[in-house]
Amino acid sequence: MSDQFKALILNQEGENFSREVKSIDRSFLKHGDVTVKVDYSDLNFKDGMILKNGGRLVKEFPHIPGIDFSGKVIESENSKFKEGDEVILTGFRVGEIFFGGYSQIAKVNADFLVKKPESLTTKEAMILGTAGFTSLMSAFAIQARESILLGEKVNDVLVTGATGGVGSVAIMALTKMGYNVSAVTGKDSKSDYLTSLGAKNIINRAEFDKDPRPIDKGLWDGVVDTVGGKILANAIAQTKSNGIISVCGNANSNELNTNLLPFMLRGIKVWGMDSANCSIKRRGFIWGEAKNLIDFDLLEKSVLTVSLEELIETYPKILKGEISGRVLVDLNK
């Protein structure tokens, strides 16, 4: 294999920030002990922030972004992996402080990699990526009311930011788990899409984007919230006794103005999803369950596949909320 390959390079000199697909060689890669030929990456909201201006996450330039990738090991200095192993990487600040997946070849720390389950393809892994992985984490958090906490059966689950990468996959996974999913969205035109994923009810986000009551009628056994702010505060007020709220995004706001009554009177639990630093053991379990919870044939209908060059034109759309479903980056396109 040639030592020359293409990668998306970010650079900053003074006030000038640039992003450009360039031909580089392996000597450019300075981190890690496992070298991977990358098949696919993807576009997450965090990727969009980094591609725009570094997102205050990148500390050194030049830099290769891309927080996720999947591919095949071509060289390993670590006994955990050998040439030919197919692997998945999400999180661990790869694409932020370490070089990431927007590159035909990546070199990373072996401790960041998960061996791909045989049930998944490398393409399917990146159709999910960090967004889909977070969705599955959230679905299992809701299910924990029945399992770990030995509570009553979960019936009704609310998903906010439903057309986004996390929300759309969460609807599908929660439906496969047997729950009735209500989807919150500001995009009326996407109602049929959300219904096709399994949503039983579509709720306009205006019903949640308002000042919340201290405590409201209990409607939800579980909530997957991707947006924060008033929408999350209203979801908290409407969660039933012993309900679980998975907090996994801040697309609307970092702020949360709530009160203690739902926690004291109903015993609800707010569970933050830190997918970037999730343990390898937990990652292995979740990736192993993905095929059981996701209809990839259906999900792929809403996937936009782009090249590295096309990614530069596409990333602003995720920051503006103009993308429904997932963006797959094909490193061989």
pLDDT given at position 213: 94
Report if residue 314 sits inside a domain. yes
Report if residue 243 sits inside a domain. yes
Output DSSP code: residue 98.
B
In DSSP terms, 23 is beta-bridged to: 6
Per-residue pLDDT band at 21 (split at 50, 70, 90) = very high
* Distance of alpha carbon 154 from alpha carbon 142, whole angstroms: 8
Beta-carbon-side half-sphere exposure of residue 200 (alpha carbons within 13 Å):
12
22 and 92 fall within a common domain = yes
pLDDT given at position 208: 96
Number of domains in the chain: 2
141 and 270 fall within a common domain = yes
105 and 152 fall within a common domain = no
21 and 44 fall within a common domain = yes
CATH code, domain carrying 202: 3.40.50.720
Judge whether 212 and 236 are in contact, CB under 8 Å.
yes
* Distance of alpha carbon 118 from alpha carbon 284, whole angstroms: 12
151 and 243 fall within a common domain = yes
CATH code, domain carrying 31: 3.90.180.10
pLDDT of 78 > 70? The answer is: yes
φ/ψ of residue 108, rounded to 5: -140, 170
**Section 54-65 average pLDDT:** 94
- Select from 85, 53, 55 the least CA-distant residue to 70: 85
Report if residue 280 sits inside a domain. no
134 and 248 fall within a common domain = yes
* Distance of alpha carbon 287 from alpha carbon 291, whole angstroms: 8
Q: Which two tokens stand for residue 145?
A: 């009311």
238 and 317 fall within a common domain = no
pTM of the complete model: 0.92
Q: Which two tokens stand for residue 294?
A: 């996701």
**Section 182-203 average pLDDT:** 94
304 and 215 fall within a common domain = no
65 and 23 fall within a common domain = yes
Which residue in the block uniquely carries the two structure tokens 């009553």? 152
Judge whether 315 and 27 are in contact, CB under 8 Å.
no
Domain of residue 59: give its range. 4-116+296-330
pLDDT given at position 2: 63
Report if residue 233 sits inside a domain. yes
Which residue in the block uniquely carries the two structure tokens 């200095």? 77
Report if residue 60 sits inside a domain. yes
**Parallel/antiparallel/unpaired status of strands 86-90 and 105-108:** unpaired
φ/ψ of residue 110, rounded to 5: -60, -30
**Section 67-74 average pLDDT:** 98
Judge whether 63 and 98 are in contact, CB under 8 Å.
no
Report if residue 68 sits inside a domain. yes
Report if residue 287 sits inside a domain. no
Report if residue 124 sits inside a domain. no
pLDDT of 77 > 90? The answer is: yes
The chain-wide mean pLDDT, for the chain, equals 94
pLDDT given at position 1: 53
**Section 166-181 average pLDDT:** 96
At 195-254, the pLDDT tens digits run 999 999 999 999 999 999 999 999 999 999 999 999 999 999 999 999 999 999 887 888
**Section 294-319 average pLDDT:** 94
